[in-house]
Amino acid sequence: MKTKEQKSQEISELTQEIGNASNAFLIDFKGITVPQVTELRKQVRDTHSGYLVVKNTLALIALKDSPIVAMREQFNGPTAIAFNATDAVVLAKALTKFAKDVPAVRFKGAMLNGQVVPAEQIQTIANLPSREEIVAKLLYVLQSPIRGLATVLQANIRNLAVVIDQIGKQKGVVAGS
């Protein structure tokens, strides 16, 4: 049994770790094995996110000033929280991929940028392009007109060189002499 001081320390740690997260996924992990949990933790870490198994009552106390508290109804039974402050889509992709391989993992709900999202919509979020993909597409679209202009300008120079070469051949002048 934990002392009041140990519980207070645990609440403080939860507040520091999860309190600043703008994205969080609540997961029911009942029925998954220790090696599977280890793999899940690794995959979550690879997305620069955190993963914690929490005691529901302590989590609700620790997160009382966080937007996550809006999901208080989902804090029942075995609960783990995967969270980050950057890219919800990358974390959602990793979690849904893992849940597909390990059906015992079930989503209870999520919070994205401070907004509560039902568990049924997590797969939709995972299908969205990541921030990096969106930036890459935007850069491509922005570069396209410039690339077209460069191609047109090169074509004019190339056409001029061909015309000069043809005139030279008609006059009997050999190029390079």
Question: For residue 25, what are the β-bridge partners?
Answer: 82, 110
pLDDT (tens digit per residue) in 10-38: 877 777 777 778 888 999 988 889 999 99
pLDDT > 80? residue 167: yes
Judge: domain 4-128, CATH 3.30.70.1730. Answer: yes
Residues of the chain above pLDDT 90, percent? 10
Q: Band the pLDDT of 4: cuts 50, 70, 90.
A: confident
Question: For residue 51, what are the β-bridge partners?
Answer: 82
End-to-end CA distance of the chain: 96
The string of DSSP codes covering 163-177 is HHHHHHHHHTPPTT-
- pLDDT given at position 39: 92
DSSP category for residue 68:
G
Q: Band the pLDDT of 173: cuts 50, 70, 90.
A: low
pLDDT (tens digit per residue) in 120-136: 778 777 777 777 777 88
Hey, where are the domains in the chain? 4-128, 129-177
Lowest mean pLDDT among 58-62, 72-76, 130-134: 130-134
Average pLDDT over residues 78-83: 90
- pLDDT given at position 175: 52
Tokens encoding 110: 């999520």
